[in-house]
Amino acid sequence: MTRRRFAPLFTLVALGACATVPAADRQPVTVQILAINDFHGNLETPLSPTHFADGDKLRQSRLGGAAQLAATVEHLRTGNSITVAAGDLIGASPLVSSLFLDEPSIRVLSDLGLELAAVGNHEFDRGIAELQRMQNGGCDQYTRRTPCALEPFAGAGFTYLAANVVDEDGATLFPATAMRTIGDARIGFIGMTLKGTAGLVANQATAGYEFHDEATTANRLARALRAAGADTVVVLIHEGANVDPRFNVAGCPGLSGPIVPIAEALDPAISLVVSGHTHQAYSCKLATNAGAEVLLTSGGRYGGFVTDITMRIDPAANRVLSLEGRNVAVDGSAGSVPAVASYVARYAQASEGVANREIGPIAPPAGEGADCGDRIAQDLVADAYLFGANAALDDTVDLAFVNSGGVRADLAGADDGVLTFGELSAMAPFGNSVIVLEMNGADIKALLEQQFCENDPAIVCNSLLIPSAGTTYTVDLDGPAGSRISALSINGQPLDPARTYRVATNNFLAGGGDGFHTFTQVPQVANVGFDIDALEAYVATGTIVVPICGRISHVSPVD
């Protein structure tokens, strides 16, 4: 496999020499920016197809995979081109990457010519020291897993940017900005993660660093980049929007979400925002509060899309003449790169032994649940959260919740009576931590009411909250907002609004993920470790019976 590890450095040196051309003599230039986000170590093409809107057509295809992604980037790339990313390239990865600390994903992305990437929240999953190793290389061990298991690790051939990740001395974790000269155009890049990152990872993972406001940080640095000679500024940010449908070749139907006010508040020097985090695909122009216009893009997840952005710049006038973007589906139509496919296959083969390791037996369910709004794999994960939390906190935790979208596979292992580590990892691939919070009964009721959209309660906005065994509730979709949850019972007793309960969940939800803001308004008791560890320990007890769904009544199952 041909490495391109230092191509970005040589490109910068060579193109930088062109910057001596007088500004008045620089001619308009067309620049291509190829962007990805939320790759999450998906070296292999995910099995499930993606439905996406392409104009007025709804298409369906299996998207992504490193070999197809590399071929698509190679097919799209033009002469004046740079490839960038908006975070979460690693972390919450399938076993073929996570088992090897995402080293193969870093290499593949480096080799396809990625130059700049914002950090995302999942880059911090294994802590600061391990993230620095991802950038700089080496085989020092900072986690339970052994690094460099198959080959030496040289580190990323691209540069991570972390403009709003700041230590107590005001220094950023990685460079805040980068300047690239492409043709006769000078483009400044700012890379950031969302300011709520600390609430989405384990407490110790970001120790010593703060996450500053996105718009304030971007505007300050954009002005500095303009003063340094940038014709325009691009923001790479791991924060995103919600659209409906979720995946679009172009357009932002029903645009909402936290990136919108950030983009609206940006300085006019910023013309492009490459976003991520919400795992959705969109591309559209947005008016800013300053009366300018910014192109807002996101390329979905798992390498399923490459955002192809065309920027026409007039360097003599220091302005953007035109700017367009579209998402190109990584559907195999561009083929695949054999060297990448072979490299991924090597890691897949090496992971098979771990994936097939038997963790524990599981008995078939005792019967069928009626009126199920939950699925048995989701129930199992919620039960594991409660098991792990009580093991750590002396049986003082009352219940647990997992988001339905956080359980990524069915309970396939129940068919043969045994669960393997690979099956557990497929159910819980995100590397989440289990967090215990204290909530009174009224808080829990308010939390459950947040599952349903205000305008159409028949739609679950992002995820259902799946409870652990012993906790049940009923949903009345015809009820008014705030009064749709009833018959809420915990361990056989009706919910007491005044009582304080200990609730286990994952760090994603504890940080307000999927819109469950009530979690952010209550005190956290402890971080009790990784969810996969709790799940493995629970299954290894050897006493697991497939749960009977039915903990949520009168609502249809939701993916």
Give the model confidence (pLDDT) of 430-472 as tens digits. 778 899 999 999 999 999 999 887 655 655 565 789 999 999 9
Q: In the chain, where are the structural domains located?
A: 26-348, 356-553
- Whether 311 has a pLDDT exceeding 90, the answer reads yes
Question: How far is the C-alpha of 79 from the C-alpha of 274, rounded, in Å?
Answer: 21
Question: How far is the C-alpha of 64 from the C-alpha of 181, rounded, in Å?
Answer: 30
DSSP for 126-171, written as a single string: T-HHHHHHHHH------SSSPSSSSS-----SSEEE-TTEEETTS-
How far is residue 244 CA from its own chain's centroid? 18
Which two tokens mark 132? 């620095």
Q: Which amino acid is at 227?
A: A
- What was the pLDDT predicted at 35? 99
- Whether 258 has a pLDDT exceeding 70, the answer reads yes
Question: How far is the C-alpha of 284 from the C-alpha of 249, rounded, in Å?
Answer: 10
- Select from 407, 397, 430, 434 the least CA-distant residue to 510: 434
Q: Is residue 107 very low, low, confident or very high in pLDDT (cuts 50, 70, 90)?
A: very high
- The residues, any chain, with a CB within 8 Å of residue 445's CB and separated by 6 or more, are 485, 488, 495, 497
Q: Which amino acid is at 465?
A: L
12 touches 189 (CB < 8 A): no
Question: How far is the C-alpha of 189 from the C-alpha of 115, rounded, in Å?
Answer: 11
- What was the pLDDT predicted at 11? 28
Provide the CB-side half-sphere exposure for 439 (13 A, CA): 26
- Whether 369 has a pLDDT exceeding 60, the answer reads no
Question: How far is the C-alpha of 358 from the C-alpha of 423, rounded, in Å?
Answer: 10
DSSP for 446-503, written as a single string: HHHHTTB-SS-TTSBSS--EEEPTTEEEEE-TTSPTT--EEEEEETTEE--TTSEEEE
CATH superfamily, domain at 26-348: Metallo-dependent phosphatases (3.60.21.10)
- Select from 457, 453, 466 the least CA-distant residue to 374: 466
Query: 81 or 257: whose pLDDT is higher?
Result: 81
- What was the pLDDT predicted at 120? 98
Q: Cα dihedral sign for 375, 376, 382, 386?
A: positive
Q: Is residue 556 very low, low, confident or very high in pLDDT (cuts 50, 70, 90)?
A: very low
Alpha helices by DSSP H, 356-459 = 376-392, 421-427, 441-449
33 touches 185 (CB < 8 A): no
- Whether 7 has a pLDDT exceeding 60, the answer reads no
486-518: per-residue pLDDT in tens? Answer: 999 999 999 999 999 999 999 889 877 777 889
Which two tokens mark 246? 């979720």
Average pLDDT over residues 550-556: 74
- The residues, any chain, with a CB within 8 Å of residue 441's CB and separated by 6 or more, are 495, 496, 497, 498, 499, 501
- The residues, any chain, with a CB within 8 Å of residue 457's CB and separated by 6 or more, are 477, 478, 479, 481, 484
List Cα–Cα distances, 365 to 42, 147, 383, in angstroms.
Answer: 32, 40, 15
Question: How far is the C-alpha of 211 from the C-alpha of 195, rounded, in Å?
Answer: 5
Helix orientation angle between 338-355 and 103-111, rounded to the nearest 10 degrees: 170
Question: How far is the C-alpha of 273 from the C-alpha of 164, rounded, in Å?
Answer: 15
* Composition of the chain by helix, strand, coil, percent to 5: 30, 30, 40
- The residues, any chain, with a CB within 8 Å of residue 171's CB and separated by 6 or more, are none
Q: Is residue 151 very low, low, confident or very high in pLDDT (cuts 50, 70, 90)?
A: very high
Question: How far is the C-alpha of 225 from the C-alpha of 181, rounded, in Å?
Answer: 13
Mean pLDDT of the chain: 90
Query: 326 or 17: whose pLDDT is higher?
Result: 326
- Whether 134 has a pLDDT exceeding 60, the answer reads yes
Average pLDDT over residues 387-407: 95
Question: How far is the C-alpha of 85 from the C-alpha of 114, rounded, in Å?
Answer: 8
Query: 263 or 22: whose pLDDT is higher?
Result: 263
Q: Please work out, in degrees rounded to the nearest 5, the angle formed at the alpha carbon of residue 356 by the alpha carbons of 354 and 357.
A: 65
Question: How far is the C-alpha of 307 from the C-alpha of 234, rounded, in Å?
Answer: 14
Query: 8 or 361: whose pLDDT is higher?
Result: 361
Question: How far is the C-alpha of 496 from the C-alpha of 494, rounded, in Å?
Answer: 6
Domain 356-553, CATH: 3.90.780.10
Q: Which helix (H) or strand (E) holds 341?
A: helix 338-355
494 touches 521 (CB < 8 A): no
- What was the pLDDT predicted at 557? 43
- The residues, any chain, with a CB within 8 Å of residue 490's CB and separated by 6 or more, are 398, 399, 470, 471, 501
DSSP class of residue 45 equals P
- What was the pLDDT predicted at 511? 78
Pick the range with the lowest mean pLDDT from 211-220, 328-337, 511-520, 550-559.
550-559
- Whether 68 has a pLDDT exceeding 50, the answer reads yes
Average pLDDT over residues 224-240: 98
494: which strand partners?
489
Q: Cα dihedral sign for 121, 124, 128, 130?
A: negative
DSSP class of residue 172 equals B
